[in-house]
Amino acid sequence: MAKLTINADIRLSTIDRNIYGHFSEHLGRCIYEGIYVGKDSPIANTEGMRNDVLEALKQLEIPVLRWPGGCFADEYHWKDGVGPKEKRKRMINTHWGGVVENNHFGTHEFLRLCELIGTEPYISGNVGSGTVAEMSEWVEYMTFDGESPMANWRRENGREQPWKITYFGVGNENWGCGGNMRPEYYADLYRQYACYVRNYGDNRIFKIACGPNVDDYNWTEVLMREAARFMDGLSLHYYTVPTGIWSDKGSATEFDEKLWFETLKKTLFMEELIERHDTIMTRYDPDKRVALIVDEWGTWYNVEPGTNPGFLYQQNTMRDALVAGINLNIFHNHSDRVRMANIAQVVNVLQAIILTEGASMILTPTYHVFDMYKVHQGASLVAADMESPSYEMDGQSIDQLSVSASVDANNRLHISLCNLHHAEALEVACTIRGGKVGDVAGRILTSDTIQSHNTFGEPEIVKTSVFSDFRIENDQLIVKLPAKSVVTLGVNL
């Protein structure tokens, strides 16, 4: 049995809504087919955006959406993607499949998408192959309300009022696909480029610097030392690769319990990464003004057989649901520093929450976890101490339980629990201090097998259901979690 003590009256940091952010890149069928089909498509759409995807995204209450990349961002020249579509420049998407990018989905289309789903845009600017002037003019184009060449051009292109843009990334993966830079060089470039990312009128931009690749702690050290005072956020990228081998990452659907265990063990590494990068950041920023932005995370497998290797299309199983739950718990528990995260990527790429095929659309197990967990958005993290049995495999050991808890504005306690074991149920004895336990309600996501996933022929193999396997006993809440399950409980205090 696991033991859990929740101090509901010890309110810690606020769980920023932006931890539930998503990422959309011009990659494979994410933008084209996945989100944007064009006004003339037989697929039902609003201004070219497919209606089924819009409705699914609105249901999730997505707080922020990152665009246009990724590696694509540092070869994206925004002026090619505005104005009449028939005159927009066509380019080669060199990073992802070598396909032609017609730029029909550009600044106006992305910001309209954000309006339609009620989310805040997060623009990723081009440092790798772009110029300071280009980045400066993009911000002017989007946010300036006065008389200027860029604001006038925006009006000519059909948008009278400026948009509100808060989040702006100055480059992406500049240690790799964004320019192969050394941290010292990028830190200087960041200071220069960020200087020209202007605040116009009452629009205030939250500037995000390119952060480390996984465990490159020197990168964080240099960026914080040289540029912390010029940034509001520092990014971190970490993907869960089951085999640890980039040339053969393993199948998304054909895996055994050993690879299940390895996947969860590797995704738990996110906690060590956050703690160690936070330690460095705290030396330079003890008040934690600068946010850690995990703006790329999720699972990465071999592409589905028969699909373009450059499109990164993969399926999504119960294993991905556990990865999502574990990472969201980690982000909650470190929400004093982690104030945004963007899972990669929203439709048809990597750990997508939505998959499409022609006019059909399915929701993945990861989507359902985000839907269950959204009750934590904007809530107060509360202290939760856990004693978990070990989950062991081939001499390795991890905790069987992952948990986080928060109290919302209506004084309702939400507890999210993941049972990581592939085959064994887990009973959790939960002591709740700081309030009298009232009504309890729950939802669960589990499945018959660890490989269970939704398909276009059977779209509801993995779906949520009401959870009621709990009881009050000697003032404790006793919860029985099935193997391979994610549960969220709501408790009136």
> What span, in angstroms and rounded, lies between the C-alpha atoms of 208 and 149?
26
Q: Is 296 a catalytic residue?
A: yes
Which of 101, 109, 173, 262 is catalytic? The answer is: 173
Angle among Cα 477, 366, 255 to the nearest 5 degrees reads 100
> What span, in angstroms and rounded, lies between the C-alpha atoms of 224 and 290?
9
| H or E segment to which residue 23 belongs | strand 21-23
Which of 271, 296, 392, 460 is catalytic? The answer is: 296
Q: Is 147 a catalytic residue?
A: no
3-state DSSP assignment of residue 423: coil
- Return the residue matching tokens 């400026």: 162
Neighbouring CB atoms inside 10 A of 275's CB total 12
Angle among Cα 464, 468, 469 to the nearest 5 degrees reads 110
| Residues belonging to the chain | 493
Query: CA 425, 429, 433, 436: dihedral to nearest 10 degrees?
Result: 90
Helix 217-227 and helix 257-284, axial crossing angle in degrees, nearest 10 = 30
Q: Output the six-digit token pair for 317.
A: 């199983």
> What span, in angstroms and rounded, lies between the C-alpha atoms of 49 and 31?
9
Q: Is the peptide bond before 315 cis (omega within 30 degrees of 0)?
A: no
Q: Is the peptide bond before 325 cis (omega within 30 degrees of 0)?
A: no
> What span, in angstroms and rounded, lies between the C-alpha atoms of 423 and 87?
57
Cα separations in angstroms, 216 against 213, 223, 224, 228, 298: 6, 11, 13, 17, 18
> What span, in angstroms and rounded, lies between the C-alpha atoms of 20 and 17?
6
> What span, in angstroms and rounded, lies between the C-alpha atoms of 303 and 297?
17
**Which of the residues are catalytic?**
173, 296
